[in-house]
Structure 1
Amino acid sequence: MRAWIFFLLCLAGKALAAPQEALPDETEVIEDPTTEEPVGANPVQVEVGEFEEPTEDVEEIVAENPCQNHHCKHGKVCEVDDNNSPMCVCQDPSSCPATAGVFEKVCGTDNKTYDSSCHFFATKCTLEGTKKGHKLHLDYIGPCKFIPACLDTELTEFPLRMRDWLKNVLITLYERDEDNNLLTEKQKLKVKKIHENEKRLEAGDHTVELLARDFEKNYNMYIFPVHWQFGQLDQHPIDGYLSHTELAPLRAPLIPMEHCTTRFFEACDLDNDKYIALEEWASCFGIKERYRQGSGDLNAHLPALLPTLSCFNLPTSFGC
């Protein structure tokens, strides 16, 4: 029996020791190259490329700011109330931008210097409804300084220089107005007649006697400049009257240079109603009564121009 078992074990050992038959190699798959016909050769052939799965663009919905198109006057900022409605509230003066220098300072009618117009209007807003706030206005550009009293003789000379300056401002605008659209076409035609007039008194430091003679001699040259300046100021609203606020862009830069400015404009308000009508304005500049009504083109608004009028081609006799 043992001999038999031993015999079987020997056979099994011989079988395990014998070399195994090699497994057949994996067949290499070789793609059969096919000639690709150009697109269009077959009427039903469509060029196929790699396409990503289409994704749907989802727009991010941003809630509209109610204050975006809500305008607030100087000294106020827009805030949203509990109902998400815009409202104007007084600006905190401390939130005004930092000022760069003395040129940004302004002087109020309270004879107090404010760091900027932003600081002034924010302060004025906090005084709304009070007697002090009602009387407070922006007096002039620059820090407060001593303004000498305007004598009667000086007051008489003021409109002579002012008229000549307004005429020269318009002429300068006309000369620079190639592509800037500083004047309307109708205004250009009016100023062109003044510009081309050989009798025109050139800009310069002229005596009041010469200015007075030129006004009498070339009276028609001065009518439109006086009316034009009124139209540039009469904007909020356009009603034929100048309020203290509307007059500010002209008077505020002039006061530090021309100390009769305040008294002159106060004298223009003949009926003391705190507004200067066009007829009152024209009368102040010596325009004859029949020429005191303006044309419909006076109020063509030039928003970028008003803040720069004060020293624009200003004769040295006018303080610049």
Structure 2
Amino acid sequence: MLRHLLLLSLLMTFNFCVTLGGRARYKQKQMDNALKPYVGRVDAASLCELMKCYSPVGSQCQVVNNGNIPGPKCICPTTCPQQGDPVCSVLGKTYINDCLLHKEACRKKRRIGKAHNGPCLEVGVCSEQEFCQFPYRLLDWFLLISRMGKRFTSAYTPSCITHTARVQLAQSWFLLLDRNKNGKLSMKDLKKLHYKKIPLEHCAKKFFKSCDSNRNNKVTVSEWISCLVDRSEQWFNEYMSVKMGSRKLCDQRSTIDTQNGPV
């Protein structure tokens, strides 16, 4: 019985990998076909900048000659220079150059995104006061990003939106960060948020780890809301000595709903 279960598990894993591999190859073929009409007419290096590599996993675009016509192609690098312009990955690791990042990604058969050019930034020590304030700052940043492009005359802060709206804001970002849609945020998901979007926040790593209350390296939506919303409210109420969303604090007739504006 155990042997049969093991075989079934291996088959499911194999089929899952084949499905992912087939999907990546299909998307790569679509990308190749989209750029094909421009090969030989547009500078190949410029086409490489437009190329998004799906297959092989971890590959990077390089200019190759096909019948003496240079064109873009996704290739796993086998050799890389030992110098160049450093880059920081979304996992917080600095590589000497972009080539070495893709070489390791190909070796591990996984995509490793680039957070930014240059080495990963050294983070300072997160003080207790900064740590307690961090969930409020993060919620404020989420609110700002969510409102970009919308027509609102006032820059509302988390202190002037309802508790329900704060929960909805946290939930919407949870769904956005949950890339594989399994209802949990992995430490990898949170690392990507940290190093790609908020690399200067030196309390981020400590905070995200603290959200994992049962220490299983996953953060559920309830853990996320408790960590982000409840802690931000607790910090604000204690620091300001006034409840978030109160009329004493907000110069509106009532508090603000994130989706509909003033209510």
Higher helix share: 2
TM normalised by structure 1 equals 0.42
TM normalised by structure 2 equals 0.50
- Greater Rg, structure 1 or structure 2? 1
Higher strand share: 2
